[in-house]
Amino acid sequence: SQLAEENLWALSVHEGESVTVNCSYKTSITALQWYRQKSGEGPAQLILIRSNEREKRNGRLRATLDTSSQSSSLSITATRCEDTAVYFCATYHTGGLSGKLTFGEGTQVTVIS
Amino acid sequence: GPKVLQIPSHQIIDMGQMVTLNCDPVSNHLYFYWYKQILGQQMEFLVNFYNGKVMEKSKLFKDQFSVERPDGSYFTLKIQPTALEDSAVYFCASSLPGGLYEQYFGPGTRLTVL
């Protein structure tokens, strides 16, 4: 069965620094989505990167996808306190028709002022 | 951005009772989802619903669970009867039709079964 997982449970950075969260998965995918979840809220979608894409940017966010190593990363530059959240990767698996997402456990990112 | 609403935000019920969780999806979305998240664990897919039918469900979607969206109103998840292990946060999501459109999530309903 497919499993998406982030590689570290918690990271702390100082405001203004950059941070990278990594994710690995175990089966063939059609796309991978990065989400952010703040305490008491639902996940907010950040970047969707398709299997034929290697990199995608959205403002201060940059996602990469390496299908050969079945891994992805999300980098945040010039971090702000409001970036503090749990960051998840979630995958759409090949052959899926319903849009089912398989989530990783999440990495808590804390930005310290 | 697009908003998914969920009602109620928190529900406490006794084991064996019925509960209905309500979701107001994004207005032009046609795919609807429920996910379950137990505290400290990863979010897990329950079910996907489109055009009045369940498209796919996971093993977590027990026989006691049902979903519907009567007449374009709320998309609901009903659990009857509830069990202690149903305690979790339930997230609704919606998307445009097709498998690779971004799913927008609601804030979740925290269900506590006593």
**Contact by Cβ (8 Å): B57, B47:** yes
**In a 10 Å sphere around its CB, with 0-12 CB exposed, 13-18 middle and 19+ buried, how is residue B73 labelled?**
exposed
- Decide which of 1.25.40.340, 3.30.70.260, 2.60.40.10, 3.20.10.10 is the CATH code for A4-112: 2.60.40.10
Among B31, B51, B94, B102, most A C-beta atoms within 10 A, so best to mutate, is B102
Q: Indicate the range of A59-73, A96-110, B81-95 predicted with least confidence.
A: A96-110
Please count the residue pairs, one from chain A and one from chain B, whose beta carbons lie less than 8 angstroms apart: 71
Q: Cβ–Cβ of A42/B107 closer than 8 Å?
A: yes
Condensed to tens digits (0 to 9), the pLDDT of residues A78-101 reads 999 999 999 999 998 776 666 788
* Residue whose token pair is 């319903």: A98
List chain B residues with CB under 8 Å of A98. Answer: 31, 48, 50, 55-56, 99
* Residue whose token pair is 């309903």: B109
Res. A41 pLDDT band, cuts 50 70 90: confident
Q: Cβ–Cβ of B100/A30 closer than 8 Å?
A: yes
Sequence spans of domains, chain B: 5-88+99-105
Point out the residues of chain B with pLDDT beneath 70.
98-99
Cα dist from B61 to A9, A15, B27, B57, B86, whole Å: 28, 42, 25, 6, 10
Nearest residue of chain A to residue B48 (CA atoms): A98
Answer yes or no: CATH 2.60.40.10 is held by domain B5-88+99-105. yes
DSSP percent split of chain B into helix, strand, coil, nearest 5: 5, 50, 45
